[in-house]
Structure 1
Amino acid sequence: MKPALVVIDMIKGNEPFFRETHRRIIPNIKKTIERCRKLGIPVIYANDSYMESDWIFNFMKKHAIRGTEGVEVIDELKPEMGDIVIEKRRFSAFFRTDLDITLRELGIDTVLLAGINTHVCVLATAFDAVSSDFNVILLEDCCASHKEEIHEFITKKFKGMPAFKVLSSEEFFSEFSG
């Protein structure tokens, strides 16, 4: 297994929309990022980064406008030298971005997913990863939705799937180093 961690939408532009469920995962993501860096697992941030007139704002409040502080990763999870930051304009981190080619150039075969929202951007990215022939591990303690029951519904639905695993970060690190 050659994994990379993809942290989705943990940006300043989303902070005004953070609920307790979102804030609760920040320490878990931070710890996971630190462990990945120590193990040489690439850390990739996939961030909302929209144009002012983006089509998506027909049904979403404007946020994360390209060129503003809103597209930056929140202070608690700031990228470090060697981390990769990818801008995205749609839910999936794969859709019309450099994520696929970046993963392939790094020799990655497994995508670890962290971030928000489990039922939207995380799930869309997971499906596109599997469709692009990557194994997926959704780190359930590093992902959240605005409602806990939505997050739990998604994680329960996919637990036990072969190409799309749902594990806690501790379960992943035990499996990876074991």
Structure 2
Amino acid sequence: MIAVLVIDMQNAFFEEPALKRRQEEVVAACNSLTSAAREAGVNVLLVCTEHERDKSTWSLNMLDDDQGFIFRGSDQAKFVPGLLTTDIPQMVKTRDSTFMGTDLGMRLRNWDVDTVILAGVSAHNCIAQTAADAFAHNIRVIYAAEAIATENPEAAEAVLRVLTREYRQRVLPLDEVLNLFSSASSLPGA
């Protein structure tokens, strides 16, 4: 079974100018992806990053810089305007990988998921870390190309090249991803 994970489509990340320029385009692609998935009965999960002001959830770089962000309840932590969120399950994480310190593995097992489609930001950080951990959990990964963005295209290209080659993960155009919802037999291992 397939599930869609939409990662970190939050105001804080789109403060970055390179991501801000692509915000409407990525939101539209994510909305197309989640709408088609839900219509096909495919599980969708919105994942967001939130931190506490007391530093208890901060990563090493945040601690080193004494600079936190995306505090729970702040405007930075809200999903970007226009992103479809109504009646879609949500999960909070505090690290780049959606698997780290969360119940994602249990949710995917409960849904009988063996393949995740990834969307959101940033391709070279949270998307890549989630993809690497999915591989470690024997879960296949497909990247919905138009629904993923990054502020560092060179890093994203390098990381995705390794993940697609070494972990046999696929980057597909959105229209091909949408076709998977109606023909699950096209997935490896299906």
TM-score, length basis structure 2: 0.82
Mark the runs of 5 or more structure 1 residues left unpaired by the alignment.
none
Counterpart amino acid of residue 99 in structure 2: F
**Aligned partners of 2:163 and 2:92: how far apart in 1?**
27
* Pair 1:162–1:120, CA change in 2 (3 A): closer
Percentage identity across paired residues of the two chains: 24
Equivalent residues in 2 for 1:109-124, closer than 5 Å: 109-124=114-129
Aligned counterparts of 1:42 and 1:10: Cα–Cα separation in 2: 18
Whole-angstrom CA distance in 2 between matches of 1:130 and 1:23: 30
Residue pair 2:5, 2:116 contacting (<8 A) in 1 also:
yes
Distance 1:35 1:138 in 2: 16
CA contact (8 A) 1:50 1:89 kept: yes
Displacement of 1:64 after TM fit? 1.4
Tell me which residue corresponds to 1:146: 151
Partner SS, residue 77 of structure 1: coil
How far apart, in 1, do the equivalents of 2:83 and 2:124 lie?
21
Which protein has the larger Cα radius of gyration, Structure 1 or Structure 2?
A: 2
8 Å CA contact retained: 1:6, 1:45:
yes
Give, in whole Å, the separation in 2 of the partners of 1:59 and 1:46: 25
Q: Which residue of 1 aligns with 2:5?
A: 6
Q: Number of residues paired by the alignment?
A: 176
Shift of 1:11: 1.1
Could you tell me how far apart the structure 1 residues matched to 2:166 and 2:24 are? 28
Q: How does 1:19-30 map to 2 (within 5 A)?
A: 19-30=20-31
Cα distance in 1 between the residues matched to 2:64 and 2:23 = 21
Distance 2:100 2:63 in 1: 19
* In the alignment, structure 1 residue 68 sits paired with structure 2 residue 74: yes
Moved more, 15-24 or 166-175: 15-24
Name the aligned partner's letter for residue 169 of structure 1: L
TM-score w.r.t. the length of structure 1 is 0.87
CA RMSD of aligned residues (A): 2.1
The answer for the alignment partner of 2:171 in structure 1 is 166
Distance 2:115 2:172 in 1: 13
Q: Distance in 1 between matches of 2:139 and 2:9?
A: 22
Correspondences of 1:21-170 after superposition (within 5 Å):
21-52=22-53, 53=55, 54-56=57-59, 57-58=62-63, 61-81=67-87, 83-159=88-164, 163-170=168-175
- Displacement after TM superposition at 1:163 (Å): 4.1
Q: Could you list the runs of 5+ residues in structure 2 that have no partner in the other structure?
A: 184-190
Structure 2 Cα separation of the partners of residues 74 and 39 of structure 1: 25
User: Aligned AA for 1:75?
Assistant: P
